[in-house]
Structure 1
Amino acid sequence: MAETLSNDDVVMLLEAGLGEEAVIAKIETADGNYITDTSALLDLRSRGVPSSVIAAMLKRSVVEPELSDSSPDPLVPHFPGVYLMDDWSPVARMWRIDPTASTQTKTGGILGYAITGGIASASVKAVIPGEAAQISTPNGNPTFYIYLDAPGDASSGTFSTGFGASIQSPNEFSLVRLAEKKGRREARIGSMNIAGAKAGVMDKDQIPFTYEQLKPGVFKVTIGAAMEEGQYGFIFPLGGGVGPGIGQAGTAGARVFAFGVE
């Protein structure tokens, strides 16, 4: 059975002659149930417990906040992700949008590109399986909340762009309308013509949105104009190959947080 240290256990270890460093190591590796209100801290100090040991007890006493995947309060800690605020149901809540990683790409306009010698553009499209997103809203001006990983922590992998990099703000997303095809949806993530190749979402395909930071890593996103019925998604490119060819534009695909507007 794993032991659980208490205030008295810490005092006992120190009185037994264990060094300060050894007691701190024990506190850091064992479960603890410490009383750390003001009177308890003063009592520990009066019994000769060094400040460094008390500090270690305080650190172990901090309770990690529980993470939510549905709370409508944006300041409540949430799991990393993109959330749609449900403001149309009788009970408000948030819906977490699961990301879809598109590793399949297809090209379009190749014939026109070839016939015109590159004057007409060919495009690269990310393919998202399924004809419709699981999450949808009847509101053409929905509100979203984005909860990024804590700085230096990309353990969730939700916002990883590859090669150890990750999304740092909503400014790195593009909001686009997805082309609806039989059994799939598509988003243009690259193009090429005689002038050169471009990787990423084209400017004319992007839907404007604004955002504000509520606290570190937490952003409120609002849409600039009402969206029509259809399929949409917040998209960011995943790291991939580089090179001049049309096949290199967006080769690694994209990660899409897809939703529908009814």
Structure 2
Amino acid sequence: MLRMTIAAVALAIAAPALAETLTVDNIVALVSAGISDDAVIAKIKSSGTRFDLTTDQMILLKSKGVSGAVISAMLADNGAPAAARAPAMSMDSPDPMVPHPAGVYLLSSTGAGRRMQRIDPTVTNQAKTGGIFGYALTGGIASMSIKAAIQNETARVHAQENKPSFYFFFDESNPDTARMATAWAAGTAATVSSPSEFTLIKLMKKDGRREARVGSANIGGAKTGVMDKDRIAFDYEMVRPGVYRVTPLQELPTGEYGFIYAIAGGGAAGAMTARIFDFSI
């Protein structure tokens, strides 16, 4: 009988490399063998076991001589190591329940299966004007357009479908990393927390660049922001706190597109600036 008890204790305090999961019976065996509370609590913390004790189980443990300190350690969240509590961060997992760094992702299909593609924001601090001739010829009756330009004729991220799905991961989705620099940490957009703060637009291809119309002016006044007729409707739903699935309401023809936000006038020499998460179809 003594040998059996010694064997049970030896198994309960086995090396962490065995990744042992403790049970209530293991705890009772350790306490019955005379192991100190400090040692039992240390074992609980190092094992990473998380106990979900019922009231009856707690009463039974107490009747078996298990102290309140050990029972508290069994109930505590810190009984599991940090690595066991927090799933690993991923850049391409297609599962939105898996933590991702904050930003905009395209859900794409490849030969290896589905994966997330992160879309890095493109920032412009250059504004161009169009329709100046008509504006001047009509004395300001015809509108002059104001366009924000971004580099390159096509985006780095390419969607294979005409009605692609996107996932927006905001800081709320990763509280542990919210203090780090993120895709949103720029100017007044640092507090962005919903896809409703974005506008989906089609970008116009020019020689060596793409342009987005972000304002207009005529004799009646000036407007700043994306024109209503340039907006592309999309819908979104919350998957979990801080994570949203975004889909266009209609199929998008082949071309260049982007989610735009943070239009301001604080760029170089007062030029209009915008942040665009660009992609192509």
TM-score by length of 2: 0.68
Contact kept in structure 1, 2:204 and 2:212, CA below 8 Å: yes
Q: How much does 1:72 deviate?
A: 1.2
Distance in 1 (CA, whole Å) between partners of 2:38 and 2:240 is 39
Distance in 1 (CA, whole Å) between partners of 2:50 and 2:179 is 34
Equivalent position to 1:84, from 80, 96, 106: 106
Aligned to 1:213: 238
Aligned to 1:20: none
Q: Deviations over 1:165-194 (max 9, x none)?
A: 432211111111110011100111111122
Distance in 2 (CA, whole Å) between partners of 1:147 and 1:88 is 22
Distance in 2 (CA, whole Å) between partners of 1:227 and 1:239 is 27
Contact kept in structure 2, 1:113 and 1:121, CA below 8 Å: yes
Identical pairs, percent: 44
Q: Which runs of 5+ in 2 are unaligned?
A: 1-34, 40-44, 53-57
1:70 to 1:107, Cα distance in 2 relative to 1, 3 A: same
Q: How much does 1:254 deviate?
A: 0.8
Q: Across the two proteins, how many residue pairs are aligned to each other?
A: 231
1:256 partnered with 2:276: yes
Q: Which runs of 5+ in 1 are unaligned?
A: 1-7, 13-31, 242-246
Aligned to 1:170: 195
Aligned to 1:24: none
Aligned to 2:147: 125
Where 2:136 maps in the other structure, the secondary structure is helix
Q: Residue type matched to 1:76 in 2?
A: V
Q: How much does 1:112 deviate?
A: 2.4
1:84 to 1:51, Cα distance in 2 relative to 1, 3 A: same
Aligned to 2:167: 145
Aligned to 1:69: 91
1:235 partnered with 2:257: no
Contact kept in structure 2, 1:34 and 1:57, CA below 8 Å: no
Q: How much does 1:133 deviate?
A: 0.7
Q: How much does 1:207 deviate?
A: 0.9
Aligned to 2:67: 46
Distance in 2 (CA, whole Å) between partners of 1:107 and 1:154 is 39
Q: How much does 1:149 deviate?
A: 1.6
Distance in 2 (CA, whole Å) between partners of 1:146 and 1:102 is 21
- When Rg is computed on C-alpha atoms for both structures, the one with the higher figure is 2
Higher helix share: 2
Aligned to 1:224: 249
1:132 to 1:161, Cα distance in 2 relative to 1, 3 A: same
Q: Which moved more, 1:157-166 or 1:128-137?
A: 157-166
Q: How much does 1:209 deviate?
A: 0.8
Over aligned residue pairs, what C-alpha RMSD do you find? 3.6
Aligned to 1:200: 225
TM-score by length of 1: 0.73
